[in-house]
């Protein structure tokens, strides 16, 4: 057993512990060829990169704007984790009404609650624009 395992898995700079989490579902992935394994590894590294860039951004914004979001325990916090925010946005869906590319088609954002809108407001106008209904 590696003596530094906890440092790697729980480390702030590069957290690999979530690979073992049942919510990540790595135990249910079976790949047959080497190319698929390499592709999945690349996608996982890109996801980790997004995670590592988004976490400090998310933690810096609420304290800067003097706002808080609800934690897993339902209490206000100014230091939410990006994983928690991903879980909060799990129920948000985009519904495409009409044929893609047609003049009458548009997207509707579904299940955008007031708490989710508050999180988008904290993250900034770029994030709010991504979830704005496109008419």
How far apart CA 28 and CA 32 sit, in angstroms, is: 13
pLDDT for 35 equals 92
On average, the pLDDT of the chain sits at: 77
Q: What is the mean pLDDT of residues 108-133?
A: 85
Query: Higher model confidence: residue 104 or residue 19?
Result: 104
pLDDT for 8 beyond 60: no
Overall pTM > 0.75 = no
Q: Taking a C-beta distance cutoff of 8 angstroms, is the pair 26, 19 a contact?
A: yes
pLDDT band at 63 (very low <50, low <70, confident <90, very high): low
Per-residue pLDDT tens over the stretch 93-115:
888 888 777 777 778 888 888 88
From the CB of residue 55, how many other CB atoms can be counted at a distance below 10 Å? Answer: 17
């Amino acid at each position: 057993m590696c003596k530094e395992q906890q440092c790697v898995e729980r480390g702030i700079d590069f957290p690999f512990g979530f690979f073992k989490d049942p919510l990540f579902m790595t135990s249910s992935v079976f790949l047959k060829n080497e190319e698929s394994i390499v592709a999945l590894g690349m996608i996982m590294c890109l996801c980790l990169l997004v995670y590592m860039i988004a976490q400090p951004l998310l933690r810096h914004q609420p304290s800067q704007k003097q706002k808080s979001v609800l934690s897993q325990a339902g209490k206000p916090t100014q230091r939410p984790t990006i994983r928690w925010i991903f879980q909060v946005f799990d129920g948000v869906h985009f519904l495409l009404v009409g044929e893609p590319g047609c003049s009458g088609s548009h997207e509707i954002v579904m299940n955008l609650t007031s708490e989710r809108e508050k999180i988008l407001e904290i993250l900034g106008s770029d994030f709010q624009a991504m979830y704005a209904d496109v008419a």
